Amino acid sequence: MKTSALGRLGWPVSFIGLGGIAIQRLDDEAAAAVVVAALATGVNFIDSARGYTDSEAKIGKGIRGIERERFFLATKSMERTAEGLLADIAKSRANLGVDMIDLYQLHNVKDDASLDQVLALGGALEGAEEARRRGWIRAVGITGHVTSVLEKAIATGHFATCQFPYNVIETRVEERLLPACVEQDLGIIVMKPLAGGALGPDWAEQSLRFFLDKPVSVVIPGMDSLEQVVANCRVGQAGHPLTAEETAQVQEALRSLGERFCRRCEYCMPCPHGVNIPVTFLLHGYWTRYNLQDWAQERYGAMAVKADACRECRVCEARCPYDLPIREMLKEAHANLDDPGLKKEN
């Protein structure tokens, strides 16, 4: 497996890593088998999150008994305070069954207010630094979907890695964010290399080959089968970069998809009627592409304002840089995610 240094940390991470979101839908035995197979095939970077239900625990079972030196563990938390982050790190260590986690990331820092909060006195960054002093974690990273916020975050110099969405049809990060990470020698972790599952099996190989000549450290597709492990890892072992002609062909073939999915840039926000549009589409993506219907419906059911609050004012559509038919997409998302059974239970 091709390896690259994780930025200035220097850790030799595998080109293909294991994204931990997909194994939520597997039982413990099947999830552990995927983790073991990935490690046996050359993967040495595993990423999860506190928000991925039982992903950490399943990964913990998969790595049990395997030499700790064979892999790097990364996970992340949405907590914004030092106290909350320390509590989450303790849970992550217990779930994963390790004393030290290699990389702990501040998860989905999505706006200036969130960034200010994590950087403030008593914020999550303070908790991460305390965890590092205690020997609970080795390094601190940040993840997000909004380029401008991530640019501000990495400019502070506090983070060793940056994780963001990037794929063959989402290349805007190449304009500023990617060069900024390279300039500061940050480890670059690519999430959603298959566009959150939108780039299906027919395009998986090309989508991963796209990164072979890019200045990224590790690409973390979700994998929920042994077949996916073998196919994805093959790219990291013997793949060659897409030619310019192949890239153009893939982008042209996927043009229709690119016109109809949310990139979570959040330019549509705030909604005048309180709908969290990106989160609604994120959950709908889990419903349609990740086979996590129950989980997505449960999360959607807990939202204070649902998509049916939309009054079709079109403010969001006027702001969307991708000209998405947001009103229509919200109706579709609500139709799939709204579970009357949850209302009865609540």
Q: How buried is 180 (Cβ within 10 angstroms: 0-12 exposed, 13-18 middle, 19+ buried)?
A: middle
90-114 burial, b at 16+ Cβ within 10 Å, e below that, comes to eebbebbebebbbbbbbbbbbeeeb
Residue 306 lies in a domain: yes
Task: Answer yes or no: do 194 and 89 share one domain.
Answer: yes
Residue 251 lies in a domain: no
pLDDT for the residue numbered 208: 96
Task: Answer yes or no: do 239 and 323 share one domain.
Answer: no
Task: Answer yes or no: do 330 and 199 share one domain.
Answer: no
Do 92 and 101 form a contact (C-beta atoms < 8 A)?
A: yes
For residue 85, report the phi and psi dihedrals to the nearest 5 degrees: -70, -45
Among 192, 220, 243, identify where a domain stops.
243
Residue 88 lies in a domain: yes
Task: Answer yes or no: do 282 and 190 share one domain.
Answer: no
Q: How far apart are CA 96 and CA 91, in angstroms?
A: 9
Task: Answer yes or no: do 232 and 318 share one domain.
Answer: no
pLDDT for the residue numbered 264: 66
Q: What is the domain extent for residue 285?
A: 277-345
Task: Answer yes or no: do 211 and 151 share one domain.
Answer: yes
Q: How far apart are CA 92 and CA 75, in angstroms?
A: 8
Antiparallel, parallel or unpaired: β 12-14 and 18-19: unpaired
Task: Answer yes or no: do 137 and 67 share one domain.
Answer: yes
Residue 26 lies in a domain: yes
Q: What is the 3-state secondary structure (H, E, C) of 173-197?
A: HHCCHHHHHHHCCCEEEEECCCHHH
Residue 262 lies in a domain: no
- 32 sits in which H/E element: helix 28-40
Task: Answer yes or no: do 230 and 297 share one domain.
Answer: no
Task: Answer yes or no: do 302 and 174 share one domain.
Answer: no
Residue 264 lies in a domain: no
pLDDT for the residue numbered 319: 84
Residue 255 lies in a domain: no
Task: Answer yes or no: do 95 and 184 share one domain.
Answer: yes
Residues with pLDDT less than 50, the chain: 344-346
Task: Answer yes or no: do 40 and 138 share one domain.
Answer: yes
Do 81 and 52 form a contact (C-beta atoms < 8 A)?
A: no
CA 208 to chain centroid: 15
Per-residue pLDDT of 17-73, as tens digits, reads 999 988 988 999 999 999 999 999 999 999 999 989 899 999 999 999 999 999 999
How far is residue 209 from each of residues 201, 203, 250, measured CA to CA in Å?
13, 10, 11
Number of domains in the chain: 2
- 143 sits in which H/E element: strand 137-143
Task: Answer yes or no: do 198 and 337 share one domain.
Answer: no
- Indicate which CATH number applies to the domain containing 31: 3.20.20.100
Per-residue pLDDT of 77-110, as tens digits, reads 999 999 999 999 999 999 999 999 999 999 999 8
Residue 263 lies in a domain: no
